């Protein structure tokens, strides 16, 4: 599941995961670093029914992945790696995550590199890494949807 910011990706991911058995997992990568993020995390929690078990893992998604899981979201995970001084590890962690890819998983990511090239080197490295990560995830997935203005478009 990919798309722009606030395009409905997380809501759609929950819809896609609705058929998973009641023993469902939600892997949350966000960290509550300020009031706005704490509010956003709480809103996302409120969207999920009590049948979801939440795992909060901001870095080691390869260790936390399970069957019947929604992973939300790859850009935040990558952000966490960059800002914790672990930027160089993203490819190996993602590789291990894909190697453990369960049958029933919905992964949420963003398409951030469809516009202006960022002016600073850190933002350019981040955009390149996210684009490469998205390509690897899409190659591993059986199905890929792009959310545009709240409408899911099947692209794979």
Whether residue 12 contacts residue 145, with contact meaning beta carbons closer than 8 Å, is answered with: yes
Catalytic residue among 9, 12, 24, 44: 44
Whether residue 47 contacts residue 11, with contact meaning beta carbons closer than 8 Å, is answered with: yes
Residue 82 CB partners (closer than 8 Å, separation 6+) = 122, 125, 126, 129
Q: Is 44 a catalytic residue?
A: yes
Q: Are strands 2-3 and 24-28 parallel, antiparallel or unpaired?
A: unpaired
Active site residues: 44
């Amino acid at each position: 599941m990919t798309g722009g910011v606030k395009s409905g990706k997380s809501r759609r991911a929950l819809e896609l995961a609705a058929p998973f058995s009641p023993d469902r997992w939600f892997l949350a990568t966000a960290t509550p670093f300020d009031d706005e993020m704490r509010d956003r995390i709480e809103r996302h929690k409120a969207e999920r029914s009590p049948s979801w078990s939440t795992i909060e893992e901001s870095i080691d998604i390869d260790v936390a992945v399970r069957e019947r899981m929604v992973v939300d979201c790859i850009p935040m995970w990558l952000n966490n790696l960059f800002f914790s001084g672990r930027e160089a590890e993203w490819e190996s962690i993602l590789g291990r995550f894909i190697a453990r890819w369960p049958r029933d998983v919905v992964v949420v990511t963003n398409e951030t590199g469809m516009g202006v090239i960022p002016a600073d080197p850190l933002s350019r490295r981040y955009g390149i890494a996210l684009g490469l990560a998205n390509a690897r995830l899409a190659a591993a997935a059986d199905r890929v949807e792009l959310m545009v203005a709240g409408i899911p478009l099947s692209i794979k």
